[in-house]
A and B are shown apart, each in its own frame.
Chain A
């Protein structure tokens, strides 16, 4: 099949992400990867839960002393909204409206970038205000590994979207790049899934007790 064939909204297939064999394989392989990611994050969550508030002496700050609800709330809203904007992008992808898809993905990237800025501010704040660093305690190591790993996923997701947008800026939407955009948006949703557990288990439950 010619992957670079030009399509219009009327000739565009119903599931462009799964029309080609390559698209089908990407789809399946990516869900296998997400299953693996689930296990990876579970091991980090388990480590965090076991080492939460385990500090060498009582002059170290604990979770409930440091976390602030407004910051976590803003970050949650940014990431949740960016998940919706990437849904909008995929809606336009299925309708073969390339320009609108690009616009919504750009908004997604900007929201993700906002999230990342808040996270950098947050880590910087903990290090300088509370001397809560990666090496200060077992709690610090577990916290930065878990939340930092999620932050690294956000960075990868942003880079992925940006590269796809730049590389395909002039190509237009076809069966070659539709699965690529689709899989990247699945990855972005998964990042939000992990964040739901982070804000619940680390921040909200951390502040309750």
Chain B
């Protein structure tokens, strides 16, 4: 079957794949460290008691950055073959954004 080996020399293919997987895992551990770091910053912002005018945008940007790392590295959206997955998720995110915007603006009009 064609999918079992993509190289004429399975040993080379195997070692190449192992190395690729290891590199990817290293990238994922780095993303994890960044996510932990951003979580710390977010909690420090709240402890430092900044004015919400400054705190809210920073907190939201930190959350968005963490979610991007989670989606693209932990959930592999950076790999090819995720076009339809991205279409589904971003369609959902668009509806999500409009829903939240609506509730925040016209519920207590």
Given A193-B71, A200-B63, 12 new contacts (CB under 8 A): A13-B3, A13-B4, A31-B88, A32-B88, A46-B104, A49-B100, A49-B104, A80-B39, A83-B32, A91-B24, A196-B67, A204-B45
Also in contact, A95 and B28, with CB within 8 A (given A13-B4, A87-B74): no
Could you give, for residues 19-49 of chain B, a 1 whenever the CB lies within 8 Å of some chain A CB and a 0 otherwise? 0010011001100100110010011011101
Q: Within the assembled complex, what's the spacing in Å between the Cα atoms of A39 and B11?
A: 46
Interface residues in chain A, defined as those with a beta carbon under 8 Å from any beta carbon in chain B: 1, 9-11, 13-14, 18-19, 27-28, 31-32, 34-39, 41-43, 45-47, 49-50, 69, 73, 76-77, 80, 83-84, 87-88, 91, 94-95, 186, 189-190, 192-193, 196-197, 199-201, 204-205, 207-209
Q: Interface on B for A, CB 8 Å cutoff?
A: 1, 3-6, 10-11, 14, 17-18, 21, 24-25, 28-29, 32, 35-36, 39, 42-43, 45-47, 49-50, 52, 55-56, 59-60, 62-63, 66-67, 70-71, 74-75, 81, 84-85, 88-89, 91-93, 95-97, 99-100, 102-104, 107-108
Smallest CB–CB gap between A90 and chain B, Å?
8
**Total number of A-B contacts with CB less than 8 angstroms?**
136
Which residues from chain B contact A80 at a C-beta distance below 8 Å?
32, 35-36, 39
Q: Which residue of B lies closest to A80 (CB)?
A: B35
Would A204 and B75 be within 8 Å (CB), given that A42-B99, A80-B32, A83-B70 are in contact? no
CB atoms of B104 and A18 under 8 A apart: no
Report Cα–Cα, A205/B59, bound state, in Å.
8
Q: Nearest A residue to B77 by beta-carbon distance? A: A31
Which A residues are CB-close (under 8 A) to B81? 18
Query: Looking at chain A's contact residues, is the secondary structure mostly helix, strand, loop, or mixed?
Result: helix
Partner of B96 from the list A9, A38, A189 (CB cut-off 8 Å) is A38
Let me know if A207 and B84 touch, CB within 8 A: no
Contact of B104 among A32, A38, A50, A76 (CB under 8 A): A50
Taking a contact as CB atoms under 8 Å apart, the answer to whether B91 and A35 are in contact is yes
